[in-house]
């Protein structure tokens, strides 16, 4: 399965998938570069100095795997589902269920649709754990992936 690179990111929630409890369904990607043995983190679009794994809403015209690929903006292939995690708001209420997939990156692209307002970093495991310190559910996903320590 190859990435369907788009020149623009999707916006709005008109086509987003929600479960029976009205919890937004989101897909994320743990993008691993096997050449450097590093994982991709990106700057948060909502909070300054916060880093996250690529993720976004799963839409009704795609599979979860396609949504995970779309959110990553790199060339590669999905190796499988790592797991699903609940993301809670500041009051402890579930705001989304995030399905994380692992991607083996075959080419790091120099341009991506959100490059004008997001930064990205390729990190070692320890660096990723530090960058994701504000997102414990993302740390758990990295730990559960093949990138985590054995």
Residue 31 has pLDDT above 70, yes or no: yes
pTM of the model: 0.86
Q: What is the mean pLDDT of the chain?
A: 89
> Minimum mean pLDDT among 9-18, 57-66, 89-98, 111-120: which range?
9-18
Q: Give the homologous superfamily in CATH for domain 24-108+115-144.
A: Nucleoside Triphosphate Pyrophosphohydrolase (3.90.79.10)
Tokens linked to 118 = 């997001």
Q: Taking the alpha carbons of 91, 130, 74, 145 in that order, is the dihedral positive or negative?
A: negative
**Cβ-based neighbours of 7, under 8 Å, separated by 6 or more:** 113
Residue 133 confidence (pLDDT) above 80: yes
């Amino acid at each position: 399965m190859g990435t369907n690179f788009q020149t623009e990111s999707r916006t709005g929630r008109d086509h987003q998938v929600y479960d029976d409890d009205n919890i937004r369904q989101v897909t994320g990607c743990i993008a691993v570069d096997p050449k450097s043995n590093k994982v991709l983190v990106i700057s948060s679009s909502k909070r300054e100095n916060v880093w996250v794994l690529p993720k976004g809403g799963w839409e009704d015209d795609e599979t979860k795997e396609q949504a995970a690929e779309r959110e990553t903006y790199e060339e590669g292939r999905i190796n499988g589902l790592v797991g699903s995690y609940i993301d809670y708001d500041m009051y402890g209420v579930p705001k989304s269920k995030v399905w994380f997939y692992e991607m083996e990156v075959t080419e790091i692209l120099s341009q991506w649709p959100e490059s004008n307002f997001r930064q990205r970093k390729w990190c070692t495991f320890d660096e990723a754990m530090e960058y994701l310190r504000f997102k414990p559910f993302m740390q758990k996903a990295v730990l559960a992936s093949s990138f985590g320590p054995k």
